[in-house]
Amino acid sequence: MGQDRFRTRLQSLLADAGVRIDGDRPWDMRILDPGVPARLLAGGSLALGETYMDGGWEAGSLDAFLQRLLEAGLDRRVVRLADVRLALLARLVNLQAGRRSLAVGERHYDLGNDLYAAMLGRRLVYSCGYWREAADLDAAQEAKLDLCCRKLGLREGMRLLDIGCGWGEMLRFAAERYGVSGVGVTISREQAAHARELCAGLPVEIRVQDYRGLDERFDRIVSIGMFEHVGVRNYATYFDVARRCLAPDGLFLLHTIGANTSRTHTDPWIAKYIFPNSMLPSAAQITRALEGRFVIEDWHNFGADYDRTLQAWRDNIEQAWPRLPARYDERFRRMWRYYLAGSMACFRARLIQLWQIVLSPGGVPGGYVAPR
């Protein structure tokens, strides 16, 4: 009797999103464990992800199911203790300071280069591709790297800093195509080892270093997919570091996922399983931190391209699972599948965006014209 009551309540909530329990449409939820409704009603978004990882429910199209939930606002209507705890913790503690700032490197980016090589395509670029004229993932990622170089106005002999350089693809591309030298910093030892090998023979230095320790001059700065790990308490420090490292006539390109509303923490499932101590900035939070530090020359949103990028990553990893090591077991695969589908749903619902922001220390004389 108790389980029936929970199931009825869950169906009432899902109906607002046009979802039926055990329906036959791709976005309907098929419950495989009768205890799932009670867990979902008690645990909110954390329980939704964990019960999927446990095999408690399925959906023919996981991303379509999650998109409908998000568009109906069910994530805001079912807020549980984990959400409240994270919000309180973010107010009391700097989640991106000290050892906490290293957690995302250790728990996400150091999972294994084999996983990312299987998913990301020919280039190890773990950020949104630029699909304006691209027909496939590899072309979209190359177009994104070239777009960054063109927006920065890179020229031979310039010195480029990459804050959060990942596996080194941006620096390699810029050095080979535009003749620059560069320094890349990352907190991931796995990424740094790969980047050093990738950039061997090029005028590129890769460091395992916290960005806060940087204090040297560069002609241009780029930061792709790293700002999401900085945290609102550290935005002022982040931009202060960029300002002191950038030449007076330099340009800084910030490439980041952004949220439509200001928050201080991320979803509790994402925080626990994917990106610990991370958060998505809002436009208001970014501009507040930029005030008095940089001039905004250009703000470009191509968030819809991230949905296509994520779909390509999903297709790649689903084909690769059989040949990947056994440590990526079924529960890990379901976790990863849920992560990618949830990200697709957020971008498709336009709840989050992808921003490229070009900044200058004091304004480009005569104005800045951004390539597209």
Residues 6+ apart with CB under 8 A from 187: 101, 102, 104, 105, 109, 208, 209, 210
Mean pLDDT of 81-87: 41
pTM assigned to the model: 0.90
* 306 close to 287: Cβ distance less than 8 angstroms: no
Q: Where in the chain is the domain with CATH 3.40.50.150?
A: 99-360
Q: Is 83's pLDDT higher than 70?
A: no
Residue type, 207: R
Residue-wise pLDDT tens digits, 266-287: 888 998 999 887 889 999 999 9
What would you report as the CA-atom Rg of the chain, rounded to the nearest whole angstrom?
Answer: 21
Of the listed ranges 57-71, 93-107, 151-165, 185-199, the least confidently predicted one is 93-107
| Residue 134 predicted with pLDDT over 50 | yes
Q: Is 198 exposed, middle or buried (0-12, 13-18, 19+ CB in 10 A)?
A: middle
Q: What is the pLDDT of residue 362?
A: 96
pLDDT in tens, 190-247: 899 999 999 999 999 999 999 999 999 999 999 999 999 999 999 999 999 999 999 9
The per-residue pLDDT for 264 is 81
Say whether pLDDT at 93 is over 70. no
Q: What is the pLDDT of residue 108?
A: 53
Between 27-36, 45-54, 265-274, the lowest mean confidence (pLDDT) is in 265-274
Q: Name the CATH topology of 99-360.
A: Rossmann fold (3.40.50)
In this model, does residue 88 exceed pLDDT 60?
no
Rounded to whole angstroms, the Cα distance separating 140 from 159 reads 25
Model confidence pLDDT, tens digit, residues 285-339:
999 999 999 999 999 999 999 999 999 999 999 999 999 999 999 999 999 999 9
- Residue 107 has a pLDDT of 53
pLDDT at 277: 77
Average confidence (pLDDT) over 163-192: 96
- CA dist 295 → 246, 286, 298 (Å): 13, 12, 9
Residue 23: per-residue pLDDT: 97
**Average pLDDT over every residue of 176-182:** 98
